[in-house]
Amino acid sequence: MGATITAVSSNGTYSFTKPNRESVTLLAGLGVEGDVHAGTKVKHRFRVAQNPDQPNLRQVHLMHEELFDELAADGFTVAAGELGENVTTRGIDLLGLPTGALLRLGDEAVVEITGLRNPCRQIDGLQAGLMKKVVGRDASGGVFYKAGVMSVVRQGGEIRPGDAIEIVLPEGPHRPLETV
């Protein structure tokens, strides 16, 4: 079985979680139709306060469902959309993708991976101690981020749970993901 979408989520108002939907429509250059984070300029409130004219590199947030399995082994119960992601996946190493990788979602939509999600403290509001499970330091002291990846929409289209995901790697050397 290949990589698939297991859930799609959106929210028209600022809230940490996003309700699951039967489908969402991705709009080229904007993000998820009707989602509070859609737009050409940055929409995350903290980033808007810093510079509202920054390009929106966080139009669509993707999260690997395997993280929920890992968190469950540590006693946390997390479901699709609860960490604010728009697209929940299974069967793809999102965190291992290079910057610029393209993901074809379903029949039409294409997103370009821009970087890692840098999660905020609101995660501990969902469940105390959860933040330490999705961001921390590895044995060598390097910071790790597990809270998914961010992307921009290159080609729009409707997506839904069960849709296949196809990966197109960029030419040239692998550029590891950094936070955006």
Q: Could you tell me which residues come within 8 angstroms of residue 107 by beta carbon, excluding any fewer than 6 positions away? A: 157, 163
What local confidence, expressed as pLDDT, does residue 1 receive?
Answer: 66
Of 152, 59, 56, the C-alpha closest to 99 is 152
Looking at every residue in the chain, the average pLDDT score rounds to: 94
Q: Could you tell me which residues come within 8 angstroms of residue 146 by beta carbon, excluding any fewer than 6 positions away? A: 67, 70, 95, 133, 134, 135
Q: Are strands 135-137 and 24-27 parallel, antiparallel or unpaired?
A: unpaired
* DSSP label of 32: E
Q: What's the angle, vertex CA 8, arms to CA 180 and CA 105, rounded to 5?
A: 75
Structural domain contains residue 175: no
Q: What's the angle, vertex CA 90, arms to CA 116 and CA 63, rounded to 5?
A: 25
Structural domain contains residue 24: yes
Question: 14: phi > 0 → left, psi -120 to 50 → alpha, else beta; which?
Answer: beta
Express each pLDDT in 77-128 by its tens digit. 999 999 999 999 999 999 999 999 999 999 999 999 999 998 888 898 889 9
Q: Are strands 24-27 and 157-159 parallel, antiparallel or unpaired?
A: antiparallel
Q: Identify the weakest region by mean pLDDT among 18-32, 48-62, 63-77, 148-162.
A: 48-62
Task: Give the domain range for residue 134.
Answer: 4-168
Rounded percentage of the chain residues whose pLDDT exceeds 70: 99
Structural domain contains residue 178: no
Rounded to two decimals, the pTM is 0.95
Q: Report d(CA 34, CA 172) in Å as an integer.
A: 35
Express each pLDDT in 9-30 by its tens digit. 999 999 889 999 999 999 999 9
How many distinct structural domains can be found in the chain?
Answer: 1
Structural domain contains residue 173: no
Q: Report d(CA 116, CA 147) in Å as an integer.
A: 8
Structural domain contains residue 174: no
Distances (CA, A) of 123 to 31, 89, 140, 147, 166: 22, 20, 25, 10, 30
Structural domain contains residue 91: yes
Structural domain contains residue 81: yes
CATH of the domain at 152: 2.40.33.20
